[in-house]
Structure 1
Amino acid sequence: MNARLSLALACCVLAAAAPAAAKDKGAPAASGEEVACLGVFGPGSSEAMLIETFGADNVVTGTVPGPEGTELIATTVFPDDPERIMEFGWFDEENFTRLSYVELSPSQTAPGGVRIGQTVAEVEALNSEPFQVGGFWWDYGGYANIESGNLAQLEGGCHLSIRFSPSDDYPEDIDVTSVSGEVQVSSDDPLLAEIDTRVQVLTLGYPWPDDLPMPQY
């Protein structure tokens, strides 16, 4: 599968969604403020819009790591600031337009109040009911699959992909077989708390535009 389509699958198919806060002109959210799916984070975003919003010195377009050891073209904003870094991918990679996804920074709050570092229980509380989490330790592991609850829909036509990861130093005597590999685990499974599972990556993703031809392979 093409790297761009693989990433779109990871960002959108295993997506959790939430109502977005309205903004008058689609301005980027300030640190800690809830991001909305419009403006620079909307489907009409572009590299040019990012440069205008964040400044040319803070915007870099080039090759970035993709899924399964692949590479793809994306635009990185604040590449030297770990707390503000964002990665924007494009459906139109020749003109750097038609937003495919944006990986949010640790300083941002995703639609619905989700933040990097939250526990599974905290996200479950925001959703108001349990959901499924993909098993860990493979390329597409740890993604939330939220089909109902407060985070099940998102205004603006985007999806919120939530990827969880367990702690690197959970106790060695814990058997993690039941949460490993291509399995689905309920968010209320106590084992997720035992291995200190938290939000690692938050990504807003959009479906392929109807008027843009799909690549042929």
Structure 2
Amino acid sequence: MNHLYPSVFLLIGLASCQQKQPDTVTTSTDSLVSKASIIQSASETPGPSPENFLVIPGLQVGSVNASATEASLIALLGQANVTRDTIYVAEGNYEIGTTLFKNTADQAQILWADKRRFARPETVMLRPAHDQDGNLLPGTAGSATQWITDKGIKLGMSLQDVEKLNGRAFSVYGFGWDYGGLTSGWKGGALEEKDGKSFIGVGFGVPESLTGQQEKLYESLLGDQEFLSSNPAMHTLNPTVQNLTVSFK
């Protein structure tokens, strides 16, 4: 059975191709929060830079901010790192957008509000690229993704660690459909904006190969319904972050 989480866009109702989750991705919540704090302490909103992989939901995804254009990203990152691309969205549909760091662990795909000028990013999807065996394709930092949010969320992080960052249980859609594994609400936790809004969607998934017990847990979490992250089956299965979707204020 294919358990792979299809990357989805909570904020604009889209879904993407399925990808196999890397078999060995480990993270430390404390180190991630520390790294995010160090990056943000240098500036409340770090400016454009090829080394900028900090995500501040609603404001920036690395060098991509609300006023970015494809042309400005080419000038900053170089033509080799900015690709005019056909991006899968949902149900067999595609849109023309822009991919940064294509076919690497840091791959990010942009859909534009101004589709003619490729300006004003509407959504940025962080979707690390994998080879046919499910291994992350190397990026500038090797076989690891560099993206991290200002509150410490990182690709590969476990559901339980995200729950710790949020400070309470959050809600997740059941697996096995277009929006399977996607966060549906932070329940007033630390990852929610002060006005109750959210500019980030976190997509969780499980490995393609599961043990018999994991299979039973997974099957109990299927379908178009919401589960709390603290649900015993969800907690025990402990899926990991496979993709992030960010929109702008």
Relative to its length, the structure with more strand (as a share) is 2
Q: By how many angstroms is 1:30 displaced? A: 3.4
Residues 1:158 and 1:194: Cα distance change in structure 2 (over 3 Å): closer
Secondary structure of 2:242's match? Answer: strand
Match of 1:35 among 24, 44, 55: 55
Post-superposition Cα deviations, 1:152-211, rounded to whole Å, max 9, x if no partner, equal 0189x971110111222222344233310101111112322433411010121136xxxx
Aligned ranges 1:10-159 → 2 under 5 Å = 10=14, 21=40, 22-23=43-44, 26-28=47-49, 30=51, 34-36=54-56, 37-38=59-60, 40-80=63-103, 82-104=104-126, 106-144=145-183, 145-153=185-193, 159=199
Post-superposition Cα deviations, 1:9-62, rounded to whole Å, max 9, x if no partner, equal 359xxxxxxx9944465224737x532324732211110121011101211112
Does the Cα contact within 8 Å between 2:10 and 2:201 map onto a contact in 1? no
Residues 1:101 and 1:117: Cα distance change in structure 2 (over 3 Å): same
Residues 1:199 and 1:146: Cα distance change in structure 2 (over 3 Å): same
Q: By how many angstroms is 1:85 displaced? A: 1.5
**Normalised TM-score (structure 2):** 0.68
5+ residue gaps, structure 2, are 1-8, 16-36, 129-144
Post-superposition Cα deviations, 1:57-101, rounded to whole Å, max 9, x if no partner, equal 211112111112211111011113x22211111011111011111
Secondary structure of 1:35's match? Answer: strand
Identity of aligned residues (%): 26
Post-superposition Cα deviations, 1:130-155, rounded to whole Å, max 9, x if no partner, equal 11011111111111121311100189
> 2:247 maps to what in 1?
205
Does the Cα contact within 8 Å between 1:6 and 1:67 map onto a contact in 2? no
Match of 1:166 among 183, 206, 214: 206
5+ residue gaps, structure 1, are 12-18, 208-217
Q: Distance in 2 between matches of 1:69 and 1:6?
A: 17
Aligned pairs, number: 193
Q: Indicate the RMSD between aligned Cα atoms, in angstroms.
A: 2.9
Q: Distance in 1 between matches of 2:242 and 2:96?
A: 22
Q: Write the letter of the residue equivalent to 2:234.
A: L
Q: Distance in 1 between matches of 2:54 and 2:175?
A: 28
Q: Distance in 2 between matches of 1:6 and 1:125?
A: 22
Residues 1:151 and 1:7: Cα distance change in structure 2 (over 3 Å): closer
Residues 1:70 and 1:10: Cα distance change in structure 2 (over 3 Å): closer
Bigger mean CA deviation after superposition, 190-199 or 33-42: 33-42
Secondary structure of 2:98's match? Answer: strand
Does the Cα contact within 8 Å between 2:229 and 2:235 map onto a contact in 1? no
